[in-house]
Structure 1
Amino acid sequence: MLSEEEISRLYRVRKTVMQMLSDRGYLVDDSEIEMTRSQFVQKYGEGMTREGLVILKPSRTNPSDQIFVFFPDDPKVGVKPITISTKRMADEGVRRAILVVQQGLTPFAKNCISEISSKFHVEYFLEAELLTNIKEHILVPQHQLLTPEEKKTLLQTYTVKDTQLPRILMNDPIARYYGLRRGQVVRIIRPSETAGQYITYRFVV
């Protein structure tokens, strides 16, 4: 059974996860983001477990494109929880998942995620990384992922190749938040005292 401190921690983590899924284009109701701690406890029960917090959300534009969020009970996640999670993904036809872990993954678990990457795209975040929403930090500008069509238009307009654009690493915290993948282009909008806003583009590597 989880302690009051763990419940409060998971309440904050779940809220950030819901915001993150919404920002990635998944169908999340405002009430799920604005849920109070007491509503959280009421929904999952006093005897809640991490594994009982599983989230499954469809894309707003393509209902068949879904993502799971798993909260493994093991402090340090090994291969077994990943095997269990990917079996459920296979059973339900879901290819994407996020693992929210307490202390990280074992080397074997990381290898397992790498080995199944052709079938399943599995990301992982530490609970500590999700206690607050990085996007809400005053120094983090607005990021918008370009569609393939928008990317094509951008490159044609400036007659450049995507590799000639400034870069953003896939393991950059904000790139991880949005689930950016190699080859994508993101628009970054910063406030500007003279122009109102200043727009740049980054190529994900």
Structure 2
Amino acid sequence: MATMEKAHTLEEKRAALIIKYRNFNVDSVEKEEDRLVYRLSRGDERYLMHILMDKKTIGIAFIRELRDQVEAGEVTGGIIVADGKYTYSARSNAPEMSIELVPKSLPAFDVFEHAYVPLHEVLTEEERQGVSEKFHAESYQFPWIRSTDPISIILGASPGDVLRVTHKSETAGKYLSYRYVV
């Protein structure tokens, strides 16, 4: 299982964060030539996560290879964690192939352990509707957080999602705020 203690490379540490905060279960880990392949599950969803080491450029050919594995394995989607650059065609075609590209700029440490980073959670559709009714506001009227923000990437939040942010304050106690992912 990928935990921060067992992770050796920066890519493995980033993958461990994603596995932890998206509540994935690690079904199996396979070591191939220059990559680790994780088979992940969460409820009925199945994912393939490729951790690429020593690969400087990731192109559309690799994205298509992973897409073929996703389609052949009856998997919901794929995740690529790499320290290299993604080509333009890889970045533009990956979303339509149900493949998420984790940028190398994602911190390799647990940002949620920092004193100034409050707890963030992705709301379910029911919770989201309840919050909208409570505040008499549409989701897009909440303060925004970008989908490229490290918090959004780690949690797997996509544009249109709403995050619940639980703050702790000495003077105000515990209070909630909400962020709309753009």
TM-score by length of structure 1 reads 0.75
Aligned position for 2:39: 56
Between the aligned residues of both structures, percent identity stands at 24
Aligned position for 1:98: 79
Identify the match of residue 142 of structure 2 among 162, 165, 184.
165
SS of residue paired to 1:89: helix
Contact 1:167–1:204 (8 Å) recurs in 2: yes
TM-score by length of structure 2 reads 0.83
**What CA deviation, in whole Å up to 9, does each residue of 1:55-114 have, x standing for no partner?**
11110xx2x301221123531111121111111111111132221112211122223324
CA distance in 2, matches of 1:148, 1:199: 18
Identify the match of residue 151 of structure 1 among 115, 128, 133.
128
Aligned position for 1:38: none
Deviation at 1:141, TM superposition (A): 1.2
Asked if residue 182 in structure 1 is aligned to residue 159 in structure 2, the reply is yes
More strand by share: 2
Contact 2:121–2:155 (8 Å) recurs in 1: no
Identify the match of residue 106 of structure 2 among 123, 126, 129.
129
Deviation at 1:161, TM superposition (A): 1.0
Specify whether residues 81 and 148 from structure 1 end up closer, same or farther in structure 2 by C-alpha distance, changes over 3 A only. same
Specify whether residues 130 and 92 from structure 1 end up closer, same or farther in structure 2 by C-alpha distance, changes over 3 A only. farther
**Can you give the 5+ residue segments of structure 2 that lack an aligned partner in the other structure?**
1-6
CA distance in 1, matches of 2:52, 2:163: 31
Aligned position for 2:92: 111
CA distance in 1, matches of 2:13, 2:150: 18
- Which aligned segments of 4 or more residues in structure 1 are displaced greater than 4 angstroms? none
Say what the alpha-carbon RMSD is for the aligned residues.
Answer: 2.5
Deviation at 1:27, TM superposition (A): 2.0
Contact 1:95–1:121 (8 Å) recurs in 2: no
Deviation at 1:204, TM superposition (A): 1.0
Equivalenced residues, count: 175
Specify whether residues 123 and 95 from structure 1 end up closer, same or farther in structure 2 by C-alpha distance, changes over 3 A only. farther
For residue 55 of structure 1, what is the amino acid of its counterpart? Answer: Y
More helix by share: 1
SS of residue paired to 1:25: coil
CA distance in 1, matches of 2:94, 2:14: 23
Greater Cα radius of gyration, structure 1 or 2? 1
- Superposed, 1:1-20 pairs within 5 Å as 9-10=8-9, 12-20=10-18
**Can you give the 5+ residue segments of structure 1 that lack an aligned partner in the other structure?**
1-7, 33-42
